[in-house]
């Protein structure tokens, strides 16, 4: 029996573990470098097919690259790990020289990435959270007492008592998905001298129950902990099952995020 679909052309995707220095850690993202813009519906279908927390599509434009990010269900306005993965792919495949800055035009404006030794530094907009009323179901949905609740218009950010409470969270994703935000960032101070703070990120409304490592969440976490701790540079750990380290520097209305990356696989999509 012949195939029921017609193969038009192949597209190569590189799968990168972002915010990781070893395989099978951090947050995997698929990156597709295109010669020209692709149809939005095709990108949505591909992201659903690959079923990673993010699939990135980029193509050259004047001054850099156009970059769009898709979860398995929606397009998002800001994504850190897939931006890091996109820059890493351009350098690793020789499209950009290692000393060239990767410049991306996105739904959140221009974002830049540069290599600093073994790390990749991204320049992102700060997403400062402000104190807000606690949604009626939020504490119950997370299963924890909340010390502080704020919003940056994209996500809720909440602080819990300690690392034990953070790691023990078993959210009700069905009720979290009903909140009028992309997701919920949960944070606490670190009990280890190695890190300043820990976090987890839940985004069931965007098709990702728990994101392994979320660069964009640190655009809110950095300013939040800057106000609490009185400093501007942090080493943070996202305490998901895979886990990942994010170095954060708050610089006024911008946040500099640093992470590492590992290339895991190359996938050829035949549709």
Q: Are 55 and 29 in contact (CB under 8 A)?
A: yes
Q: Report the sign of the C-alpha dihedral through residues 191, 192, 195, 198, in that order.
A: negative
Place of tokens 């079923």: 51
Q: Is 54 a catalytic residue?
A: yes
**DSSP string across 171-215:** --HHHHTTSSSSEEEEEEE-SSTT-SEEEEEEEGGGTEEEES--T
Phi first, then psi: give them for residue 209, nearest 5 degrees. -60, -55
Catalytic residue among 40, 54, 130, 268: 54
Q: How many CB atoms lie within 10 A of CB 164?
A: 10
* 142 vs 166: CA distance, rounded Å: 10
- CA of residue 112 relative to chain centroid, distance: 15
The catalytic site residues sit at: 54
């Amino acid at each position: 029996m012949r195939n029921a679909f017609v193969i038009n052309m192949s597209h190569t995707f590189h799968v990168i573990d972002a915010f990781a220095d070893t395989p099978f850690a951090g947050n995997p993202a698929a990156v597709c470098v295109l010669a020209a813009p692709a149809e939005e519906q095709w990108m949505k279908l591909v992201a659903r097919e690959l079923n990673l927390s993010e699939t990135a599509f980029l193509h050259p434009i004047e001054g850099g690259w156009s970059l769009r990010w898709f979860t398995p269900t929606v397009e998002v306005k800001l994504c850190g790990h897939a931006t890091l993965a996109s820059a890493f792919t351009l350098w690793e495949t020789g499209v950009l020289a290692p000393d060239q800055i990767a410049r991306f035009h996105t739904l959140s404006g221009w974002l830049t990435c540069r290599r600093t030794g073994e790390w990749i530094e991204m320049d992102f907009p700060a997403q400062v959270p402000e104190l807000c009323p606690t949604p009626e179901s939020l504490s119950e949905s997370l299963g924890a007492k909340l010390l502080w609740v704020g919003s940056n218009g994209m996500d809720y950010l909440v602080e819990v008592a300690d690392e034990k409470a953070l790691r023990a969270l078993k959210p009700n994703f069905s009720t979290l998905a009903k909140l009028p935000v992309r997701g919920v960032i949960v944070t606490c101070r670190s009990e280890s001298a190695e890190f300043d703070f820990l976090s987890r990120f839940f985004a069931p409304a965007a098709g990702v129950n728990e994101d392994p490592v979320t660069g964009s969440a640190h655009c809110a976490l950095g300013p939040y902990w800057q106000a609490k701790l009185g400093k501007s540079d942090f080493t943070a750990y996202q305490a998901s099952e895979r886990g990942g380290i994010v170095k954060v520097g708050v610089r006024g209305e911008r946040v500099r995020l640093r992470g590492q990356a590992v290339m895991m696989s190359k996938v050829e999509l035949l549709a």
